[in-house]
Amino acid sequence: MFTYTANPARIVFGRGTLDALPAEVRRLGASRVLLLGGPTLTGPVDRAAESLGAALAVRFDGAAMHTPVEVTERAVKAAAGVDCVVAIGGGSATGLAKAIALRTDLPQIIVPTTYAGSEMTPVLGETTGGRKTTRSSPKVLPEVVVYDVELTMGLPVRLSMTSGINALAHAVEALYSADANPVIDQFALESIRLLASALPRIAADPSDVDARTAALRAAWLAGSCLGSVGMGLHHKLCHTLGGTFGLPHAETHTVVLAHAMAYNASGAPEAMRRIAEALGAPDAPTAVYDLVATLPVPQSLAELGLAEADLDKAAELAIAAPYPNPRTLTRDGIENLLHAAWSGARPAPAEGTPPDLRGLTAEVVESFAATPDPRLRELLSELVRTLHSYVLRTDLTQQEWQHAIDFLTKAGQISSDTRQEFILLSDTLGVSSVVDVLTNSRTPDTTPSAVLGPFYVAGPPETEQGANLADGLPGTPLWTDVRVTDTAGTPVAEATVDVWQSNEDGFYDVQLPDVDGPVLRARFRTDPQGRLRFRTILPSPYPIPDDGPVGRMLAETRRHPFRAPHLHFMIAKPGYRTLVTQLFVRGGEYLGSDTVFGVKDGLIVDFAEQTGPAPDGSTPDSGWRRLDFTFRIAPA
């Protein structure tokens, strides 16, 4: 069971969205605006003032860090007679707008210029008498948030990094919050992934628009986390250090986060696993520490000016009032955490954590950097990343690795010109079907494709229409009458159509050493009307070859080896996309559990039961079947 509250807010996101400010003011029915900003952010505030024009009633540039109550009181006096508050800036401007809204119930429009995320929360932190306290109230939620990527382009690198880590902290703590829920979990994980990628790119190139966009989107998601679920130890420590000792808010978050995570790791192992996975690392706290260490930001509380002698008092304040946290808070534990944060020491990975092999993966990927073919470079690089990730996620042992190598070796040894065990492996793992769908699902007006299978032989003998592929083999006679058209229904003449199938016992000709020449296999050409007619036997369900490594895999996993009954077709003509497909017998066995996952609804067709004389005048004792079908192929 869980509960999820979607905090009401209108989001306007993009580039140049500051221009939408007057329209958003009018949408709220307002006409006299109090414009809030800080003393160091005059440019964007000037732009907003110009944009608001006559709707600007009062401008207040005194927003301050940690929202001192005395500043709020001055701003409330300035707000006399206004009907809307617009705040532009980071957490200071947003906090001031919330404090005013709490006291006046004025509607707010927040325009963030950092990645702090507080614009998405019903939480207000205020400082009075050197002590910062927080409260939560829906009254402080902004009515509108305008995210303008362009306003973040000039954000100094250091502030970009620290406010980004501040946002990361919101996402991290949301995952082990007492109020955690699946919706917020997805917001949090996506935010973590985006920030881990975007922040180093911004540090390297502050003008990277894509990275700036990703970071701002991540901040929005992280702020939604902060606004929907409660936070834990990390936020409590940062509020204590900021409100009592005057440490800068975002920088404090940046230093403390990895150490707070390390303290809570044993109490939230699943959350830490998911964070580590999102970061592509074996251990979440050390991964966050290492990320921060690569950025131009403070690494310790000592760098922020906190005296070592103050750590005892900070620890006392942090545990003074109970609050939800995944691990029980102890005085000694918190003091040790703060000492580590004060010195900037790297947290120790959790016991049993595999080694961090990201450097090795990067080295292997880099070895392909000079590959001339960019597609080949991409395929090899992603293959390495995926394989390394699989090995790490599953904690693969040497014995298991050797077993896999032996399996692949045997698959190669049993393969031949007439038996493709690797195709069989790809089929039974569903890879062939995935590739098929990716390659052939983008022309919805055509006949669905299907996997090629391991028994196709190139260059089958060309055969006259009307031929009998069964040539005396036992089985229910089947007369096939099909047409090939383009997507507009125009017949396609002279199309090459390869047909192949198994016999009544489930064997293809290439599996039968005593068979001399092709059986149940031929190549036809469509006539001027795009028509093709031939005779064969009704397809039967059959097992794939299960005497090799793939068969043993199926047996060990309690999977059956059977394929649903089908006919193979390959249709080709210059100027058209080649169609590889199969037609399945409606009502046949294994349609819902085909061992190579090759059945598609659009390929299940009627092989209609018939009695009486067949097209050749004969009257089969057990009746016969008829297949009528139209294949639609697409231009190349």
Average pLDDT over residues 235-243: 88
What is the Cα–Cα distance from 239 to 250, expressed in whole angstroms? 11
pLDDT at position 150, please?
Answer: 94
Between 318 and 84, the higher pLDDT residue: 84
DSSP annotation string for 293-358: HTSSS--STTTTT--GGGHHHHHHHHTSS----SS---HHHHHHHHHHHHHTPPPPPPTTPPP--H
Express each pLDDT in 316-365 by its tens digit. 988 887 788 999 999 999 999 999 999 999 998 887 788 888 889 999 99
The token duo for 338 is 């703060």
DSSP letter for 125, please: E
Beta bridge partners of 351: none
Sign of the four-CA dihedral 473, 476, 477, 480: negative
Average pLDDT, rounded, for the chain? 92
Question: In terms of CATH architecture, what is 1-152?
Answer: 3-Layer(aba) Sandwich (3.40)
Question: In terms of CATH architecture, what is 431-633?
Answer: Sandwich (2.60)
Return the minimum-mean-pLDDT range out of 9-23, 113-127, 212-226: 113-127
The alpha carbon of 461 is separated from its chain's Cα centroid by a whole number of angstroms, namely: 48
pLDDT at position 319, please?
Answer: 86
* Residue appearing with tokens 């990390």: 234
What is the Cα–Cα distance from 288 to 72, expressed in whole angstroms? 35
> What confidence tier does 524 reach under pLDDT thresholds 50, 70, 90?
very high
3-class DSSP state of 305: coil
Average pLDDT over residues 445-471: 91
Q: Which long-range contacts (CB under 8 A, 24 or more apart) does 264-270 make?
A: 264/176, 264/232, 264/233, 264/325, 264/326, 264/327, 265/350, 266/327, 266/350, 267/176, 267/325, 267/326, 267/327, 267/328, 268/175, 268/176, 268/326, 268/327, 269/350
Ramachandran sector of residue 38 (left: φ over 0; alpha: ψ -120 to 50; beta: rest):
beta
3-class DSSP state of 462: strand
Average pLDDT over residues 566-591: 96
Ramachandran sector of residue 81 (left: φ over 0; alpha: ψ -120 to 50; beta: rest):
left
Express each pLDDT in 157-188 by its tens digit. 999 999 999 999 999 999 999 889 999 999 99
3-class DSSP state of 57: strand
The token duo for 360 is 């090795």
DSSP letter for 19, please: G
Given a cut of 80, is residue 380 above it in pLDDT?
yes
According to CATH, the superfamily of the domain at 159-348 is Dehydroquinate synthase-like - alpha domain (1.20.1090.10)
Return the percentage of the chain with pLDDT > 90, whole number. 74
pLDDT at position 8, please?
Answer: 66
Express each pLDDT in 49-79 by its tens digit. 999 999 999 999 989 988 999 999 999 999 9
Instruction: For the beta carbon of residue 431, count every other beta carbon within 10 angstroms.
Output: 15
Average pLDDT over residues 275-288: 93
Between 118 and 492, the higher pLDDT residue: 492
